[in-house]
Amino acid sequence: MADDSVSRRSFLKAAGAATVAATSTAGCTGLTGGGGGGGTLVYSRGDHPQNYDPQQTTSGEVAKVTNQVFDTLIDFKPGSGGELTDGLADNWDLNGTTATLTLKEGIEFHNGEEVTAPDVKATVNRFIDDGYEYFLGKNRSGYSSVTFGDWVDSIDASSDYEVTFELTQQYAPFLRNLAMFAAAILSKAQIEDSGSNPDDQADLGTDPVGTGPFQFEELDNENQRVRLSAYDGFWGDGPNVDEVIFKTIGSNQTRAQDLINGDSNITDNLDAQSIQQVDDSDTASVVQKNGINVGYMAFNHARKEEFRDPRVKRAVTLAVNRSAIVDDIYQGFATEADQPLPPDVLGHNEDLEPYPHDPEQAESLLEEAGATDLSFELATFSNPRGYNPSPIQTANQIASDLDAIGVDVEINQFSTFGSYIDYTYGGRHDACLLGWYTDNADPDNFMYVLLHPGVEASELSDDQRHISFDEKGNASNVSAWVNKDYVELVDEGQTTYDDESRREIYLEASQIAHDNAPWMFIDYAELIRGVHESVSEDSYTVSSVGGPYLELVEMN
């Protein structure tokens, strides 16, 4: 019998969210680290989003910034694989369908107002309640369904420091979801000041007010920079620097050189060549850690009828030399993937192996499926992401390998990640390169978020293999793949609180995904960061879940 009560203590013991791209080079900033504290920390990255409302984005680039400005009710312990720790709440309990959290008293937003339960209720309602006056509506991100979805039935915020969520069902990932960047707690006052028209709520994206270690100072879109200043009233550890600047440098090599020169302190998502640059320097070093992520090519089952036949998808996978992508293009900073769940996540099936590289078998499967004249468009982003540091090279390798067996692939390259997400989440692709960093180290964050259609299993037929983009309720399932057995298993995993029972469920679901190949599984990547010697040793912690925890960084 499954245990339907999960306490804070058990969650603290348990160990187990999006993402990069774009253009241009920002100007340089000289660095002056304070003795034992202070100074400016410059974080260079590959993209510059212009909206920093955590409820309007799926971008990991936005999360890097908003995680400095906002707090969540529960947090992940820095450097852990998903261990939960205190956030704005210091006590929590999930019992059946009731989640109760107690807020810490005296924590203030950057505008000086104390955080209370009504702020939590307003935050959640803005994201999911179409009856709320300040509901974000069409402008909300797909994280609304991922974070709270249809699982929150009601919220009791009648007490200033206690919040009670009544759920529509047992929902195992709920406490972990409260630690995700999209669950950042907003100021009720700022929500209401922004107005009830979702299109008028721009202030929350360009001048966000949170409770985090840094407060928002400047969004410089012309120079592709974001500037934050230390918040002296922060309730937790740090911050240890006076300000943080996020600047954008699209080129990996240029960004690596910027780090080596000391014009930035930390950088991420480097490719093999730029990693070597940093490694060979005297002033910076490479820090790496096991990542909890997956990179893949999604087949659009709704748009391309041939992809509804598993033989066609297996043929495409067999034809592509994925070990060459991992070993030669990514240069060993990743391993080949064979299922949606990466290693170190509950339910990863160690009995599965990557599809081999077998062009002859691929041709045979295409003949068997009557798809010898297969052709399709492959959409790709341009700038590096951790799970795919060289997207154009990856796309070219795929196209070349498929051309060798007579499959014509047209590469459709996007220069900005925002337009790419609009295109792929809108279902206009035949196939597309994507990937996912975990938001909460829970298997549901992969299995439901990326491959569940977001509809009830009872609405699906036994032989259904796709769903239209208009009908599916899960925006991040860009493959529009359907398998009723898989859906039933993932639904069961959501409502099961016992870890061992959940493990068995996800082992079976992983097998179904492997066999049906809704994606071409490509890689599980290491987390790679470049760190300049101006950063005090051991003060920067690379985390596979949450973060970056820049409030802990000290400058030499």
* Most confident stretch, 32-36, 37-41, 370-374: 370-374
Of 193-197, 207-211, 379-383, where does mean pLDDT reach its minimum? 193-197
C-alpha of 62 from chain center: 10
Give the per-residue pLDDT at 10. 38
**Tens of pLDDT along 431-455?**
999 999 999 999 999 999 999 999 9
C-alpha of 93 from chain center: 25
Same domain, 103 and 64: yes
> Where would I find the H helices in 46-133?
60-69, 117-128
Same domain, 201 and 307: no
Asked, as a colleague might, if the bond just before 389 is cis with ω within 30 of 0, I would say: no
Query: Would you say residue 57 lies in a domain?
Result: yes
Confidence of residue 59 (pLDDT cuts 50, 70, 90): confident
Confidence of residue 385 (pLDDT cuts 50, 70, 90): confident
3-state secondary structure of 523: strand
Write b or e for each residue in 265-290: b if 16 or more Cβ atoms lie within 10 A of its Cβ, otherwise e.
bbbbbbbbebbebbeebeebbbbeeb
Share of the chain above pLDDT 90, in %: 80
CATH number at residue 122: 3.40.190.10
Indicate whether 478 pLDDT > 50: yes
Give the per-residue pLDDT at 491. 96
Indicate whether 23 pLDDT > 50: no
Give the per-residue pLDDT at 37. 63
Cα 125 to Cα 128: distance, rounded to the nearest angstrom:
5
Same domain, 517 and 540: no
Give the per-residue pLDDT at 142. 83
Instruction: Please measure the distance between the N-terminal and C-terminal CA atoms of the chain and give it in whole angstroms.
Output: 54
Question: pTM (2 decimals)?
Answer: 0.85
Cα 93 to Cα 175: distance, rounded to the nearest angstrom:
8
* 387-409: average pLDDT: 96
Same domain, 260 and 394: no
Give the per-residue pLDDT at 290. 85
Give the per-residue pLDDT at 17. 33
Non-local (6+) Cβ contacts of 137 within 8 A are 130, 198
Same domain, 275 and 329: no
Give the per-residue pLDDT at 209. 96
Same domain, 475 and 547: no
* 520-530: average pLDDT: 95
Count of structural domains, the chain: 2
Q: In the beta sheet, which residues pair with residue 229? A: 215, 243
Cα 210 to Cα 204: distance, rounded to the nearest angstrom:
10
Asked, as a colleague might, if the bond just before 239 is cis with ω within 30 of 0, I would say: yes
Query: Would you say residue 353 lies in a domain?
Result: yes
Amino acid at residue number 284? A
The 3-state secondary structure of 325-361 reads HHHHHCCCCEEECCCCCCCCCCCCCCCCCCCCCCHHH
Same domain, 125 and 199: yes
Same domain, 363 and 379: yes
Cα 310 to Cα 326: distance, rounded to the nearest angstrom:
24
**Tens of pLDDT along 301-311?**
999 999 999 99
Give the per-residue pLDDT at 27. 34
Query: Would you say residue 403 lies in a domain?
Result: yes
Same domain, 331 and 229: no
Q: Between these two residues, 450 and 5, which has the higher pLDDT value?
A: 450
Query: Would you say residue 98 lies in a domain?
Result: yes
3-state secondary structure of 100: strand
Q: Identify the domain containing residue 140 by its residue range.
A: 5-283+533-552
Confidence of residue 312 (pLDDT cuts 50, 70, 90): very high
Same domain, 92 and 34: yes
Query: Would you say residue 515 lies in a domain?
Result: yes
CATH number at residue 502: 3.10.105.10
Same domain, 141 and 181: yes
Burial tier of 470 (Cβ tally within 10 Å: 0-12, 13-18, 19+): exposed
Give the per-residue pLDDT at 11. 33
| Mean pLDDT taken over the chain | 91
Same domain, 240 and 222: yes
Query: Would you say residue 329 lies in a domain?
Result: yes
Query: Would you say residue 288 lies in a domain?
Result: no
3-state secondary structure of 551: helix
Indicate whether 1 pLDDT > 60: no
Query: Would you say residue 197 lies in a domain?
Result: yes
